[in-house]
Amino acid sequence: MHIISTPDEMTETARGWLTGGTVGFVPTMGYLHDGHRSLIQAAHAECEVSIASLFVNPLQFRSHEEFLQYPRDLEHDLQLLSEEEVDVVFIPKTEDIYPETFSTYVTPRGPLAERLEGAISPEYVCGTATVMTKLFHLIRPDVVYLGQKDAQQIAIIRQLVRDLTVDIHLRILPTVRMPDGLAWGSRNQQLTPEQRQQAPQLYQALLAGKAAIEQGERNIKRLQEIMRAHIAKKPLLRLEYVSICDPDTFVEYDEMAENTLITLAAQLGSVRLIDNILLLKGSQWHI
Ligand code: AMP
């Protein structure tokens, strides 16, 4: 496993890849778990070269304090990456990605950028688009591996790839869940035992929405009500939104359509959790 920590070495290495076959890239903010592991395993299995990045992106946090509080454990991350036989790990320093003179940002617009996560944190949208653009230029991957868990991030990157004609293929893998249904997340470990016990209710609410749709419910307001009622059963969960929308544009639906994303966010103490399920053409559920 080769560790690269400077943009210059990354660029040099990426140039050498031109002859080496398909390059699969897994961007992460570290504190790796089984969700990341599934992306890394797929990159390793499907590409000649696999590369993961560990970079906590300060641009996508609402405050410097939040950025500092993000969990980090480099030793554990390197151990997991070496177990999965990743070829290259890119661990840039913040000041190398964003030097003092840095002044060019990628700023998505429209409902995708302004609704849900974008309404709560415009920094998240612009920060994600900007760092991905930089990482794609530095690493020059053929395939980028992303998890379904971050549905809005996927849509933002998909739009970015289209709009800026970036020559990469996006490979989206299912959300990896713990046995009780809670999606793996780097911040889960910050939950108290009582909060942790209530956290799977997010997934239960999504499943209740799915069950109602399968029983023929088509009314968006009623579906949202069903899911809100589920969340309300757990007093520690503070629901921020539950949205039924187009998975590409994030425009809210008036009625159910063939491709539908059901996504929600809730605060649990100081931890913010997001989750979603996706219904695609042919009544195929991605949960
Ligand atoms: P992060 O380190 O949180 O920025 O996530 C890096 C990548 O891992 C993103 O593409 C996420 O969507 C993906 N990811 C995070 N949690 C999960 C999960 N539970 N299942 C699948 N992918 C995940």
Tell me whether residue 221 is in a domain.
Answer: yes
* Distance (Å, whole) CA 110 – CA 108: 7
Kindly state whether residues 168 and 207 are assigned to the same domain. no
Distance between Cα 124 and ligand 1 center (Å) = 15
Average pLDDT over residues 221-250: 97
Distance between Cα 286 and ligand 1 center (Å) = 15
Nearest to 111 by CA among 258, 267, 252, 282: 252
Tokens at residue 232, please?
């309300």
Kindly state whether residues 143 and 196 are assigned to the same domain. no
Kindly state whether residues 75 and 128 are assigned to the same domain. yes
What pLDDT sits at residue 198? 98
pLDDT tens sequence across 101-160: 999 999 999 999 999 999 999 999 999 999 999 999 999 999 999 999 999 999 999 999
Kindly state whether residues 44 and 77 are assigned to the same domain. yes
Kindly state whether residues 158 and 105 are assigned to the same domain. yes
Average pLDDT over residues 169-195: 97
pLDDT tens sequence across 47-69: 999 999 999 999 999 999 999 99
Nearest to 40 by CA among 92, 6, 4, 88: 88
Q: Can you give the CATH number for the domain in which 46 is found?
A: 3.40.50.620
Say whether pTM exceeds 0.85: yes
pLDDT tens sequence across 34-50: 999 999 999 999 999 99
Q: How far is CA 220 from CA 55, 223, 242, 262, in A?
A: 38, 5, 11, 10
What pLDDT sits at residue 283? 87
Tokens at residue 202, please?
């997010």
Phi, then psi, of 189 in degrees rounded to 5: -70, -15
- State in Å, rounded, how far the first CA of the chain is from the last one: 33
What pLDDT sits at residue 30? 98
Kindly state whether residues 192 and 248 are assigned to the same domain. yes
Q: Can you give the CATH number for the domain in which 255 is found?
A: 3.30.1300.10
Distance between Cα 6 and ligand 1 center (Å) = 24
Kindly state whether residues 146 and 270 are assigned to the same domain. no
Bridge partners (DSSP) of residue 179 are: none
User: What is the share, in percent, of the chain residues with pLDDT greater than 90?
Assistant: 96
What pLDDT sits at residue 19? 77
Give the residue, by CA position, lying nearest to ligand 1 atom 10. 146
Confidence of residue 20 (pLDDT cuts 50, 70, 90): confident
Q: Which atom of ligand 1 is nearest to the CA of 145?
A: 10
Kindly state whether residues 50 and 140 are assigned to the same domain. yes
What pLDDT sits at residue 287? 95
* Distance (Å, whole) CA 122 – CA 48: 36
What pLDDT sits at residue 282? 86
The amino acid sitting at 187 is R
* Distance (Å, whole) CA 227 – CA 208: 6
Kindly state whether residues 72 and 154 are assigned to the same domain. yes
What pLDDT sits at residue 265? 98
Contacts 24+ apart (CB under 8 A), 234-238: 234/198, 234/201, 235/198, 236/194, 236/195, 236/198, 236/268, 236/269, 237/198, 237/199, 237/201, 237/202, 237/266, 237/267, 237/268, 238/266, 238/267, 238/268
Full residue range of the structural domain in which residue 262 is found: 186-286
What pLDDT sits at residue 102? 98
Phi, then psi, of 110 in degrees rounded to 5: 90, 180
pLDDT at 18 over 90: no
The binding-site residues of ligand 1, defined as CB within 6 angstroms of any ligand atom, are 28-29, 35-36, 38-39, 146-147, 149-150, 175-176, 183-186
Kindly state whether residues 142 and 38 are assigned to the same domain. yes
Kindly state whether residues 220 and 125 are assigned to the same domain. no
Tell me whether residue 85 is in a domain.
Answer: yes
User: What is the share, in percent, of the chain residues with pLDDT greater than 70?
Assistant: 100
User: Which residue among 25, 26, 28 has the greatest number of ligand 1 atoms within 8 angstroms of its CB, and so is best to mutate?
Assistant: 28
User: Which residue among 31, 39, 121, 148 has the greatest number of ligand 1 atoms within 8 angstroms of its CB, and so is best to mutate?
Assistant: 39
What pLDDT sits at residue 72? 97
Burial (0-12, 13-18, 19+ Cβ within 10 Å), 60: buried
Kindly state whether residues 66 and 109 are assigned to the same domain. yes
pLDDT at 165 over 80: yes
Distance between Cα 222 and ligand 1 center (Å) = 30
Nearest to 13 by CA among 22, 2, 24: 2
Catalytic residue numbers read: 36
Mean pLDDT over the full length of the chain:
97
Tell me whether residue 218 is in a domain.
Answer: yes
Tell me whether residue 276 is in a domain.
Answer: yes
User: Which residue among 150, 153, 277 has the greatest number of ligand 1 atoms within 8 angstroms of its CB, and so is best to mutate?
Assistant: 150
Tell me whether residue 181 is in a domain.
Answer: no
Q: Which atom of ligand 1 is nearest to the CA of 148?
A: 12
Distance between Cα 151 and ligand 1 center (Å) = 10
Number of domains in the chain: 2
